[in-house]
Amino acid sequence: MPAVRHASFAPHVAPDTRLLILGSLPGVRSLAERQYYAHPTNQFWRLVGEVVERRLVDMPYEERLTVLREAKVGLWDVIRSAERHTSSDSLIREAEAHDLAALVADLPDLRAIAFNGGKAAAIGRRQLPPLEGIAVVDLPSSSAAHTIGFAAKLERWRALRDAL
């Protein structure tokens, strides 16, 4: 199957964002539904729900985004567009990165940037200037394909509460 060029979504941030969570590129299901982390096996909404202490998985998508905005959590992806024919990060080719430095410069209250998975961290860290006073954290991927257990992921993700 030939690779198709996919583009990510607009950032979901507000001027008072304190925590910015960056993924790699939305998967096939997310692109089809125009929603971050739409695949039902992806553990993102459970994990970030624990961070903000709300049960996000039971909420409609727009309400989830509202809760994150109120909690001062922003979402985006490090890749602007790339070629890929499945949802696997390992199959991303010809990636064009977003200008993360410009976004970070527009977020004066930012305390932490968290990369959701290794691919996001590998690409995203190269896009960031040296940051003073902003923690940069590599998280285990929320994808169910990332085989460490939920409890181990949750332990790492809960550390993000310090940024809020």
Query: What confidence category does residue 75 fall into, taking pLDDT thresholds of 50, 70 and 90?
Result: very high
- Per-residue pLDDT, 5: 72
Q: What is the DSSP letter of 138?
A: E
Query: What confidence category does residue 32 fall into, taking pLDDT thresholds of 50, 70 and 90?
Result: confident
Contacts of residue 98, defined as CB under 8 A and 6 or more positions apart, other chains included, come to: 8, 76, 77, 78, 79, 80, 127
List the end-to-end C-alpha distance of the chain, in Å, as a whole number.
43
Task: Return the CATH number at 146.
Answer: 3.40.470.10
Reading the block at residue 1, the tokens are 């199957």
Cα separation, 112 vs 28, in Å, equals 28
> In which domain, by residue range, is 55 found?
4-163
For residue 73, list its beta bridge partners.
19
Which of 6-10, 23-27, 36-40, 78-82 reaches the highest mean pLDDT?
36-40
Number of domains in the chain: 1
pLDDT tens for residues 90-123?
555 567 788 999 999 999 999 999 999 998 999 9
Helix (H) or strand (E) holding 7: strand 4-7
Question: What amino acid positions are annotated as catalytic residues?
Answer: 42
Q: Where are the beta strands (DSSP E) in 42-100?
A: 73-77, 79-84, 93-97
